[in-house]
Structure 1
């Protein structure tokens, strides 16, 4: 290398930007607020039940309506993103999410509250696809698991901040004011997103040539199947266990419906999201009605599983990218197995706040250590153009599970008790384990992008 080449290399290094991580920070903040918008109902639910004289089944239905709307929006949102791109659709979805959040505080009847919950679900539906499509374009393959883990940690962080903030607002003003307060940040963030995040890093003036080269060079390696890079470590034993193999990337929307890998992923996600939504929406009621906790104590203990979930998503993303060389399936299996154990352990949960908080923390951590893998899995099995539609299907499965589970829990509580609820959640997690065991681990991404 001559002097000129060294000078050019030094200049390129000096001008390397890290703007993709600024984008990641914005994704984290946006999805934290979005998830807080949906999880604040769990804090207000005991008070809404009392004001409108709702049964457990009716309360479960109220929770579920958001997720039915959310599920219905997934595949159409994937198609809309494919046509109009993230920058045009994402900020509008954020604004509508904030509007329907605020409207819940103005409700005068259960019927109107139900309509607003459906509207919130439909409005929020495009947000996760937009976040993941942004990650897919802005990050190289070896960072996607970490980035997706951060994104999903945001969803759990939203559920961490919602209970204590919601309890404080309720104690000072009332349950309606919770929805007013949570509506404001999304409007502001929609403007910030539109001004700051382009559809691709090529379109952004904030991305240096060196950063763009890093992103695209790594992605070019990831699709060069004819010259796969040597894996970092010998995990052949693990590959045999998880059915790792070269798979043909799904490159059409129709092909998604013929791919058991995508459909199986969606079915597994159905049960996992269902468990998360039960914890988010019903644990505050469980702590008040079953454990006899006061409102303030409930607010802090109900945040414990999501503190664990934040840590689980961060650590799970790093393990998937760094230690497992972008293998997604191992942590999916681990999460399903451990979650079944933790749900069963809640049958014997004590009334002590500290011990119960620790138990809920571990439940959230183990549930989330492989949770992000369900979302990032399709990135290794589809092309970039088809991924939004594939994730739309996966998230439709997840959100249908998230819609059904709270309603079923309400019905179980009206007929049985909380022990039956936790046994049912443990059984659904075992079913997830069996389903995920049948899908392949795409070797295309494992061997590339080192």
Structure 2
């Protein structure tokens, strides 16, 4: 969900209009076709084949400047900073399951609102992205914390490698899906990226609620033998009061 804006932005922005605005602001930069040789050392601006751009489905409607686009890309990180200080406290207080659930619900809702916010204006979009970042940050700690409870010490590094490999794999798959949706004519294409990611998160929420437990003790599908094994293996590494604490 963090990377979907990178693909969607290509479809959202009218690059030709933005280029013309920049050309108006910098008249000393001339436009030349790709196949026309230049006779001087002046830096030339390349003309993109607009017809090909339209056929590819990448002709957007927004004329946001490059500065505004950069602002949108950084917005979620501002939200991350706002929730960074109390993410660990929330997990210690309410448990990983509840924190991850609330974070995922918030991320799903804000992602679904992003197309509407974009049509309202760039700063509405910026505000929604900040809220998205607030919900996004706690989920990483909430997903990582159970590793110390569900796996014995000698298996945690392997479990962590599987856990961290999921993010780049999801980014690659998400990019492939997003580019396909981006070229669609339905709803201008790019809003489908956000709606799809929102729906995918809802599916993840259902799986999380049905099958996840904060620790092996609360898991109904785990056998008594497995619970005793995990309890014995993790006993020497657990917190004195029996609860794993997440630092700030």
**TM score, norm. by length of structure 1:** 0.41
Say whether residues 1:196 and 2:195 are aligned partners.
no
* Bigger CA radius of gyration: 2
Q: Relative to structure 1, is the Cα distance of residues 142 and 384 closer, same or farther in structure 2, using a 3 angstrom cutoff?
A: farther
Equivalent residues of 2:68, 2:122 under 8 A apart: no
CA distance in 2, matches of 1:219, 1:385: 10
- For residue 87 of structure 1, what is the aligned residue in structure 2? 97
2:229 is matched with: 214
Structure 2 residue 8 is the aligned partner of structure 1 residue 44:
yes
Q: Pick closer, same or farther for the CA change 1:76–1:55 going to 2, 3 Å.
A: same
Q: Residue 54 of structure 1 corresponds to which residue in structure 2?
A: 64
**Which among 94, 112, 115 is matched to residue 102 of structure 1?**
112
Structure 1 residues not aligned, in runs of 5+: 1-36, 224-248, 252-382, 391-450
Out of 378, 384, 389, the residue aligned to residue 247 of structure 2 is 389
Q: Which residue of 132, 137, 148 corresponds with 2:144?
A: 132
Q: Is the 8 A contact 1:137 1:201 kept in 2?
A: yes
Q: Which residue of 1 aligns with 2:220?
A: 205
The separation in 1 between residues aligned to 2:181 and 2:131, in whole angstroms, is 24
Aligned residues: 196
Superposed CA deviations along residues 236-289 of structure 1, whole A, max 9, x for unmatched, are: xxxxxxxxxxxxx9x9xxxxxxxxxxxxxxxxxxxxxxxxxxxxxxxxxxxxxx
Aligned to 1:166: 178
In the TM superposition, residue 191 of structure 1 has moved relative to its aligned partner by 2.6
Q: Which residue of 1 aligns with 2:195?
A: 180
Deviation per residue, 1:127-163 (Å, 9 max, x gap): 1111111212111111111111111111111210121
> What SS does the aligned partner of 1:385 have?
coil
- Which residue is equivalent to 1:313? none
SS at match of 1:52: coil
Matched residue SS, 1:150 = helix
Q: Distance in 1 between matches of 2:155 and 2:195?
A: 37
User: Residue 85 of structure 2 aligns to a residue in which SS?
Assistant: helix
Output the CA distance in 2 between the equivalents of 1:384 and 1:61.
Answer: 40
1:284-337 deviation per Cα after TM superposition (whole angstroms, max 9, x unaligned): xxxxxxxxxxxxxxxxxxxxxxxxxxxxxxxxxxxxxxxxxxxxxxxxxxxxxx
Alpha-carbon deviations, 1:88-132, whole Å to 9, x = none? 222122111111111112221111111111111111222111111
1:116 aligns with 2:128: yes
2:44 maps to which residue? Answer: none
**For each residue in 1:392-421, what CA deviation from the matched residue of structure 2 results, as whole angstroms up to 9, or x when unmatched?**
xxxxxxxxxxxxxxxxxxxxxxxxxxxxxx
**Cα distance in 2 between the residues matched to 1:53 and 1:187:** 32
Alpha-carbon distance in 1 for matches of 2:81, 2:222: 34
Question: In 2, Cα distance between the equivalents of 1:143 and 1:384?
Answer: 20
3-state SS in 1 of match to 2:146: helix
* CA deviation map 1:24-55 (0-9, x unaligned): xxxxxxxxxxxxx1111110122334333233
Matched, 1:73 2:83: yes
Q: 2: CA distance between counterparts of 1:169 and 1:48?
A: 12
| CA distance, structure 1, for counterparts of residue 4 and residue 171 of structure 2 | 8
Q: How does 1:296-307 map to 2 (within 5 A)?
A: none
8 Å contact kept, 1:92–1:190? no
Runs of 4+ in 1 over 2 A off after TM superposition: 46-58, 220-223, 383-386
* Contact persistence 1:49–1:59 (CA under 8 A): no
**1:222: Cα distance to partner?**
4.6
Question: By how many angstroms is 1:221 displaced?
Answer: 4.7
- Mark the runs of 5 or more structure 2 residues left unpaired by the alignment: 15-60
Q: Which digits, 9 at most, give the CA deviation of each residue in 1:362-397, with x for residues without a partner?
A: xxxxxxxxxxxxxxxxxxxxx9633x224xxxxxxx
SS at 2:213 equivalent:
coil
**RMSD between aligned residues:** 2.1
